[in-house]
Every structure is written in structure tokens, then in C-alpha cells.
Amino acid sequence: MAIACKPKVLIADEPTTALDVTVQKEIIELLKELQKDTQMSILFISHDLTLVSELAHRVAVLYKGELIEEGETAALFKTPKHKYTKALLEARPSLDGRVKRLATVKDILDGSYSDIKISLNERAIVHKRIYTKAPLLKINNLHKTYWKNSGLFGKKEAIKAVDGVSFSVFEGETLGLVGESGCGKSTLGKTIMNIELATDGEILYKGKDITKLNKSQIAAMRKEIQIIFQDPFASLHPRMTIGQAISEPIAVHHPGSSKTKRKRQVLELLEQVGLEASYFYRYPHELSGGQRQRVGIARAIALQPKLLICDESVSALDISVQAQVLNLLNDLKEEYNFTYIFISHDLAVVKYMADQLIVMNAGKIEEAGDADEIYANPRKEYTQALINAIPKGIERL
């Protein structure tokens, strides 16, 4: 639609946000081809610096509404002059090695960031503690099939969103789940939550098959398994204050608790996720994307669940806010021994977060194993293609 009138200037405002790396790569290549054919100018707006370096001839950096730096792409990224530009470049999750905490722009600007690496020995000790226990969640040959009308005579066509998937999740682990859009990873997360009902197979939580629970049992189970959604604005009721949104699950699952007690709990939760008490009375539209995501996390942890499913929970956030949220998730994991299933198309983020990694393709598990090992030595062509599609523009400059 944007090029239908053959424009001289195309403004591409975050055109690849929330897309997987392979689709993102296709769109960047398409924009380059269109530009070559039509000679149009492109103003490419993005918080993904690596992506900008793949496409842009020149880069302009905005900070608090002001243009603070501008220049030819290679020169600006190699020798940034402004401290904020340097901070943006350093805040990117790296595919080389692991750090204990990601850098935020604020950390770098005030000089408080310490780039402490996690050694292989430290990681091995943590894994030994995690993987000597029985699994918290065990998925056996799980299927989720949708049916759609096909043809003139009401013929039904089977869409296998999840097709014979089996894996285990251990207490205290972060299991990464990656794949292209439509591969079935979000459907898998919703099926574990019983938001979508499994067509076949077992979901054993603490040894009990939760696919066979009745409605009241599912409601009780939800105290222990919660989900953080991708879009915090869509998942928050626009007419409910932040305090009401966070206290709602407490009121549902603990109906005997007083309003005063619930408010005290909510204020404690807001403090835990780095928000002031004044946010209790605010509405979602008054908050930034990062603040809304913090509210989503506060609501998800309100019942002290054992397992948290993070479904693309940082994909729409800019680099610095993303780092804040990821650091928060790791802090909460350490404090409460949470277990995460971390679903994302951003492979750099998943590599930073995950202990083990599952790669999904067309509803099936393509590859599974230690996250670092899969990134270093992917065995399957599909996994190799995903890793090769990660923009590496800045590293090449």
C-alpha cells in the first residue's frame, strides 16, 4: 500500500518490529530492491541498531526529542561521538559470551555498569543443581490441531500447529523456545496454560496430567503457571487502573483477602518491578511500553507461580528497556526460583536468557540442547538458517 502511489520518500516506522529474523531479512532485502528499482528515499525508523546498519547510508540519533548525532553509518557506529550513541551500541545483547547483567543506557551514561562475565564453570555448577532433580513439567507427544473449511463441500483441512512435541522443563531452568512466525511456539505456550486445549498427548505438571483437569482444577492450576504476553497494552484493560489490574488475580484466587491487604501486596509488587507507589492509580495509556511490561510481570508474579511462560515479552521494546526487563526477569528468577519458558524470535535475547534451547519448525521440534552449544554448532540446516539470518551489520562495519 505504501508504494502504490510511487512515492519519492518512504517512511518505514519500525516495519520489522516483532517479526522473526528470516521474515525481517526478507523485508530488508525487499526495501533495498524497491529502492534500487524506484530510486525512492527511505527514512527507516528503528530501535534495532544492527538492522539500521544493514540498510542505512546515514544515521541520525535522537535523544529526548533532540538530534544529538548524525553521520555516515560506518563512521558513526565505529567512532560514535555522543555518550548516548555509545550507550545504545553497548546495550545490545551479544552472541559472544554471557554477562551477568545486560547494560542499560542509564547504567552506561552514569558509569555504573560492570561487564561481569559468567564463566563456563559457574554455568556448569548451576546446571548440575537444576538437572539432577525430576522435571517440573514434562510434555509427551503433544498435538494441537485446528480444522478449517476447505473446498466447496465443507471438507475440513487439518492444521497441525503442534505436532508430536516432547520435552521436559526443570525447576529453576530457563528453557528458550525459538522459531519462525507460525512455527507453533506461541500455540505450545497457550496449550501448556490450557488456554488452548490439547488435541492429544500429555502435559505432566508435577507428575499430574493437566490436560485432564476440569474447569475448577484448571483455575487452581493457574496459580502455579502464569503467562506474560507480548503486547502489555493489549493485555491490560484500558479502564482498569494498574492497581486493579494487578490485584485482580489475587482477588480471584484468594477471595477471603481484604482490600487493604491486596493493596499492600500490589504496592510491594510494584516496588519489586521498579515502579513507584503512584503507579497504583494510573491507567495503562499513561505508561510507556517498558512500564506496561513491568505491570504485566507484576500481575504474572502476583500469585507466586512456579512456572512463567514469557511469550515474546520483550520483542516490542527498545534495546535499553528490553535490557531492564530481562535483568528484572533474571533478578526475580534468582529471588523466587522461578522457572521460565522463554518464547522469542530474537535469537540474541534467547541465547542470553536460556539454559536449554528448543528450535521449532512447522509444529515440530527441529533441534534441542544446550543453548550455547546450539548457537556455536547448529546441526540442522533450519537452525543454521535462523542463526545466519541474524543481522550482523555492526560487526561487519
Q: Tell me the one-letter amino acid at 229.
A: F
Task: Choose the final residue of a domain: 109, 143, 166.
Answer: 109
* DSSP at 306: S
Q: CA–CA separation, 41 vs 317, rounded Å? A: 26
Q: Report if residue 175 sits inside a domain.
A: yes
Quick one: 56 and 173 in the same domain? no
* pLDDT number for residue 393: 57
3-state secondary structure 34-101: HHHHHCCEEEEECCCHHHHHHHCCEEEEEECCEEEEEEEHHHHHHCCCCHHHHHHHHCCCCCCCCECC
* pLDDT number for residue 318: 75
Q: CA–CA separation, 316 vs 392, rounded Å? A: 20
Quick one: 53 and 81 in the same domain? yes
Q: Report if residue 73 sits inside a domain.
A: yes
Quick one: 312 and 203 in the same domain? yes
Beta strands in 290-363 (DSSP E): 307-311, 339-343, 356-361
* pLDDT number for residue 395: 56
Q: Report if residue 75 sits inside a domain.
A: yes
Q: Report if residue 120 sits inside a domain.
A: no
3-state DSSP call for residue 356?
Answer: strand
Quick one: 100 and 136 in the same domain? no
Task: Choose the final residue of a domain: 69, 84, 109.
Answer: 109
Chain centre to alpha carbon of residue 235: 15
Quick one: 298 and 384 in the same domain? yes
Q: Would you say how long the chain is, in residues?
A: 397
* pLDDT number for residue 89: 82
| Region for 186 from its dihedrals, namely left if φ exceeds 0, alpha if ψ lies in -120 to 50, beta otherwise | alpha
Quick one: 194 and 326 in the same domain? yes
Say how many domains are in the chain. Answer: 2
Quick one: 77 and 140 in the same domain? no
Quick one: 143 and 61 in the same domain? no
Domain that holds residue 387: 125-396
The model carries a pTM of: 0.85
* pLDDT number for residue 397: 55
DSSP H or E segment with residue 143: strand 137-150
* pLDDT number for residue 18: 67
Cβ pair 19, 344 in contact under 8 A: no
* pLDDT number for residue 24: 83
Q: Report if residue 84 sits inside a domain.
A: yes
Write the CB contacts of 137 (distance below 8 Å, at least 6 apart in sequence). Answer: 168, 169, 192, 203, 204, 205, 307, 339
Q: Report if residue 308 sits inside a domain.
A: yes
Q: How many C-beta neighbours within 10 Å does residue 296 have?
A: 26
Query: Each residue of 36-70: pLDDT tens digit?
Result: 889 999 999 988 788 888 889 999 999 889 999 99
Quick one: 193 and 48 in the same domain? no
* pLDDT number for residue 242: 95
Quick one: 301 and 154 in the same domain? yes
Q: What are 263's three cell numbers? A: 493493596
Q: Report if residue 54 sits inside a domain.
A: yes
Strand 66-72 relative to strand 339-343, pairing = unpaired
Q: Report if residue 46 sits inside a domain.
A: yes
Q: Hey, which residues does 364 pair with through a beta bridge?
A: 361
CATH number at residue 78: 3.40.50.300
Quick one: 84 and 129 in the same domain? no
Return per-residue pLDDT of the chain as tens, 397 residues.
988 888 999 999 888 876 777 888 888 889 889 998 899 999 999 887 888 888 899 999 998 899 999 999 999 988 999 988 888 887 777 767 788 888 888 888 887 777 778 888 888 888 998 999 899 999 999 999 998 877 666 678 888 999 999 999 999 999 999 988 888 998 999 999 998 999 999 999 999 999 998 888 888 888 899 998 877 778 889 999 999 999 999 998 888 889 999 999 999 999 888 889 999 999 999 988 778 888 988 999 898 899 999 988 887 677 777 888 888 889 889 888 899 999 987 788 888 899 999 999 999 999 999 998 998 899 999 998 888 877 665 555 5
Quick one: 194 and 304 in the same domain? yes
Task: Choose the final residue of a domain: 56, 85, 109.
Answer: 109
